[in-house]
Structure 1
Amino acid sequence: FYVPNLVVMLTVLLAMTVLRAFTFPENQPNNHVVTTVTGSSRRGGPLSYYIASGNLDYAFHIDQLSGELSIRHPLDYEHIQKYVLWIEARDQGFPPYSSYEKIEITLLDVNDNHPEFDKDPFHAELLENLSPQRVLMVSAVDLDSGTNGQLDYAITDGNKENSFSINRATGEIRTTRPLDREKVALYALKVKATDRGSPPKNTAVKVLINVLDLNDNAPRFSKIFSATVAENAPVGYTVTRVTTTDEDAGPNAISRYSITDTSLPFSINANTGDITISRPLNREDTDHYIVKVTAHDSGWTVSTDVTIFITDINDNAPRFSRPSYYLDYPELTEVGSLVTRVSAADPDEGVFVNFIVTASDRAVKPLMSETTVIINIVDSNDNPPEFESPSYFTPVTKSVKVGTRLIRVVAQDKKDFGLNSEVEYQITGGNSSGRFKLDKASGWVTVASSLTADTNKIFLLDVAASDRGNPPLSAQTTVRIAVTEENHHTPEFSQSQISATVPESLAVGTAIRTLSARDKDKDMNGLITYNITSGNDGGLFALNSKTGVLSLARLLDFEEKQRHELRVSATDGGWIAKSSYVSVTVHVTDVNDNSPVFDPEEYFPTVQENVPSGTTVLKMNATDNDSGANAVMAYVIQSSDSDLFVIDPNTGTITTQGFLDYEAKQVYHLTVKAFNVPDEERCSFANVNIQLKGANEYVPRFVSKQYYFEISEAAPKGTVVGEVFATSKLTFMSISGLSLVCSSPHMFCRHKVFVDAFMFHDYTAGRAKQLQLGRKLIC
């Protein structure tokens, strides 16, 4: 409670205290009198008054003479809510007597503070197309208390289409629906915090919410593309440029281009869309091309047909059907009679055929004349246009804008020329409501009026394509257009990673896994189509686009590849279709489908005779393309013409197991078998031909211990002295049949001659040999 100008009477007695309490709002002005303290003393005389304690921040002042207690400077409830003052009353005696009074002053809060946000502005980012969720929380504080400090939050501006809501008490901002960056990329909300005081105070803050892009829009080709190029244009010449527009932003709006049919004589710059000539053109082979160009923006793939007409260059001379004409003709034939018919053809294009006819007589000095024949070939309209498809279909959302292009019908009259080949389109039925419009020149079907009221309705348009011949010829097709709800949801796979393990012997057509995705949308928007987008090298796998069953399309080979990484998309049937992706890993296990293979299949090792038993002759080597247990091999000698060799079944090492004698046998033949341990029928064979090398184990011996020859001392060099004979058990060491020839006439003595003074001639080898036999020859 508040009692103004209360006078307190004190009787000054030692140790006497009195308690008083005051309550008033914090916004009392300076010098405002809180109370007046008075007292008396038994000793008489005046009293002096002092604030003894509790005067925090010197907020109060007391007049020493009158005892009037007043406010010195503004009070602040948010700083100090309560003061406890001790007031001293002192007389003038000696010693002076004092007494104390306790005064409690309680302040009441006044709504004098505005709410304050902890930041300005607030920032947040959020991906588009997400279901309603929390975005951020704004927070403000109010230094006041009670209801004066309690805050309510509200969005007062910038909330386009009521896309956001705010919790009045907590300040939490949430989306109310999926956002679309292509409509609004940045929201600038104005949020106000208001306290509950009277009168209330408020503060506003800006909240900036940036909507991040998702690749939810397919690129669209900016127009119908066609071009004309001369057949003699050089390789590398730019024919035309295709361009796309994409409502997405950043990398999601960048398209890369490709040509579907790489066999065509054109290439395209993946970044710019420039179509250039990659091989020489020849109009006489093909007068126009329909090039299907694909644009891919990392999530969407669209395509369009680019028609390229090849113009003719006069690069071919006319040719007669025969190189020469010769005929006999009666002299009395009537004037004007047909003599013969000549024909010529020119593969170049043109409505005129020009050729020169020459006539000459057969006189000794022939005379001749020429004439030019010009034939104008007029096309007959004998071919109707043909649609590329017997029927067309497209879904479209009910909120599509008027003027949006939905689908293009294409018909061509390839065999006629001029006006006879020009095609115009018109809707002949099914458009009584006027919802759609057809461009007669391009074939694009566009929205002519709002489809909001036509949800879940299917329109069936009859479309005719007519040429401009006389009379015109035409063809018919149908265009089915399904109007759907908004495509809110993206298909979701039940798993983010899918794996399967199959043997390499799996039969073609066998199902491997069933991929499953769900879409919360209904009807067309919830109809899911599956597709393998990458990783299916060689077309090994097939995916049923409707059921999601992944099956084997071609035989697997573990030895070639053990793991296949596929990327599979699930795309709904919305007008602006949405896709999600899943990784599928197919592990291939090995099957014992390969036999061991020797390389080479025939071996020719050599080994010295007399080597000890256990000597290594050869290590066989066979390889098996299988793995694991299927590649475990063993070796065995399948057949042999001797039991002197054995093989280690694990290592394939062939060793000796007995005495090898060159004089007994020089070559051994073995057949070695390598086979799989789990399946002995998978095996291969190799031939081993072991060549034995002889050792010099026998000393040559002369047939006689001494030989006696006579020779003249004047015998010239080269004179045959005589023959000596030596033998050895080794065939290649036989030296029998040697002749002694004089090699130095002055190098022998009278009675004994050493063999090194002579050359022995081997008649069997046809060459001279210097032999050190260690035998003396007596001459």
Structure 2
Amino acid sequence: TTQCIFIRRALWWHHFFLLWNIINGQTRYNIPEELDRGSVVGNLAKDLGLGLSEIFDRKLRVASEAGKQYFSVDAGKGELVVNDRIDREALCGQSASCVLPLQVVIENPLQLHRIEVEIKDVNDNSPSFLKSEHIIEIAESTIVGVRFPLESAEDPDVGSNGLKSYSLSKDDCFTLKVKEIENGRKIPELVLNKSLDREKKATHNLFLTAVDGGNPVKSGTSKITVNVLDNNDNVPVFENNFYKTAVQENTANGSFVVTTKATDIDEGPNGEIEYSLGIHTPPSVLALFRIDAVTGDIFLKQKLDHESQASYRIDVTAKDKGLPRMEGHCSVQVDVLDINDNAPEIVLTSKPSYVPEGSRIGTVVALLSVRDLDTGDNGKVTLQLPLESPFALKPSFSNNYALVTSGALDRESFSEYHIEITATDSGSPPLSSKKTIPVTITDVNDNPPVFTQPSYNVYLKENGVPGSILFSVSASDLDFGDNAKVSYSILDSKVQDVSVSSYVYINSENGSIYSMHSFDYEKLKVFQIQVQAKDQGSPSLSSNATVHVFILDQNDNAPAVIYPSSAALGSVSHQRMPRSAKAGHLVTKVTAVDADSGHNAWISYKLAEATDASLFTVNLYTGEVRTKRAVSEQDDSSQRLLIEIRDDGEPVQSTTVTVSILLEDGLHEPILDLRQKVSEPSKKNGRITLYLILSLASVSVLSLLTFLVLAVKCIRNSRSSGSCCMRRSDCDDYKNPNRNLQIQLNTDGPIKYVEVLGGDMLSQSQSFRSCMSPMSEYSDFTLIKPSSTTDFKEVISVLDASLPDSTWTFESQQVISFLLDASGRCCAPMTYRTVQRDLPPPPCSLSTVNVNNAKSRSTVGDALTSPR
């Protein structure tokens, strides 16, 4: 026993030092079977060129195609070790070569290596017989040389460890003959070497020994008992000693397989033959086949399976009915023909990887293999993917494939694919199977945030509460996770030379914009905020949007009196007036302005209190104080007027001014008296008169020449002509059809004039100069004559005289409305701020100026929206 153990260990070490080699680029190891668990097969990490750290980081694992996991990887040493007992005979049976294919899967990046472990046979099985005792009956009259087949021994080992020879115990009448048949199989035969004499010896006890070629040698023994019979000296003889046939594996139960036939030259019962399967036929064969005892026909008892066993050998015995009974033997080989009865099977070697969108073509997604238990064309398998799938199958080796990308991937279009792979064999009819592989597309930051609109308009009342919300912007990102998380910020810019961040701030999470302080329309009317939306991807992407903030005017300013100037100082104006004044005499004029705009700046004048209300009246629009009747001697010499000045806002703001009028005799002589005095002869006055006449003549001539020149230019440049502070421009710019209308408030201290420029040739737009009142910085607007009668309401709604230093440009059809009297001339100066909405308009008709292509560059209020 000790010697056997020593020899076995020596054989194991001999195989261990010849563990692996590389054939055709594949790693191959050789190990003996029956190794202890934990035995080292080879250094897998070194052979694959991997470091020990990569084994854990890249999740190296070993998968066996055999189903059972016989091997594992020692992550600490990188060695391939035996994980379970390996029985070569159970794995490969009698096959000459026993190779276990293994797949080594490595991730990040995903790789597949194929290794093979060849299992070498060790002599761990002894030859054995199906039956330990065999009884043979032989007639004593049997002639010398007749052979009797004996049961073959079976040894699961292969090669030199398999069955090598037979030996028979010594007997004078019998010898052993070993016959070799197909596939190298050896069948022992008992040969009658000497005539039997039942009377001398009726029973012969023999021992058949089967020996293998292993080291140490193992053997098995079967006892053979030969009973010597009398009479019946002819044995049945088969027509063929060996029959061979083929049957398809789908042959139905009870189907005919083959016919065996034997003859016996004896007569009577000694020549009647009965067929049976050999006594040493394995139970597995007895379960599949049966033989007709009379005809020798062999039939199927159950369906065959080519994948379980491709060939069967059946021993048939023919016995006569004589005494003693004689028997003959033959062998039948039944080959099972494969049919396409197994559908292909798709096996995932590795789990599908997460694939980032935008991955390059050829990126490995998953590894898989396909197998078909059928053989030949029935086992040839082709794989097919759905049409228009952005994936492809790349073959590697031995029915292994890599699923790779073949087109661009966009997570925003498809975040997950369910790839249905169809495997079809080449059988007739072909069989197929399907397997669905889910592939998740991970997000890459390839989409910037997008605002709901590129720009926003926000209208904000002045004098708002600091910290109140102005507006909320919103942006969305088609990406996922952090790539879709949007944060908001305000890009730095200047508003009146001050950083916009001092005016507003934004909530970075929800895009809400808040005011930092209250806004004053009179100081700031409009400003812009550049908002940036930025995602949290790497690298991050961003987009911008513009928020236009328009400050809306509130009636927070009361009218301010600018004339008489003394009223602004002490709120009392002292005026003198002759008692000789007639009805309609202009006593004084009160002029006021309002810092607000639009309706909030429309001013009206009203006589609130008076010493004698029947003597004076105040013009609602102009603030002129005139007499309603002639002054009488009964009127008090000191008159006091309280004039209320109100705007048109809500709530109404007002102020008052007190005018004190002193009635004096002979303060101002009537013009008639002056003329009479002038007409009196005086040398000095005559000289002055001459100078005045010359000056008047010179001015008249210059005015006439100027008028003629302007008239000629107007006739040449336009069909229409203007008058009253209106002029046609002969600038080449008006010939440009894309010329925009411009309304420009030119200032130098108080407002001097407004110019309306532009228009194309089709619109016949003109350039006008509008004279402004020298009394006010904001108010008067006068136009002598209109150029057309089209609607210009929107320009009127945005023109604001409270912006003397602003310039507006319009690019769509607009209309400016002006006041004309019945003769077509402008009313004397129109103060558009001094009109109250609920008062009747002055006795002028409304006329318009047509302007095309308007687009407001700046919001300026609604100063001229009323014909008043």
**TM-score normalised by length of structure 2:** 0.30
**TM-score normalised by length of structure 1:** 0.33
| Greater strand share, structure number | 1
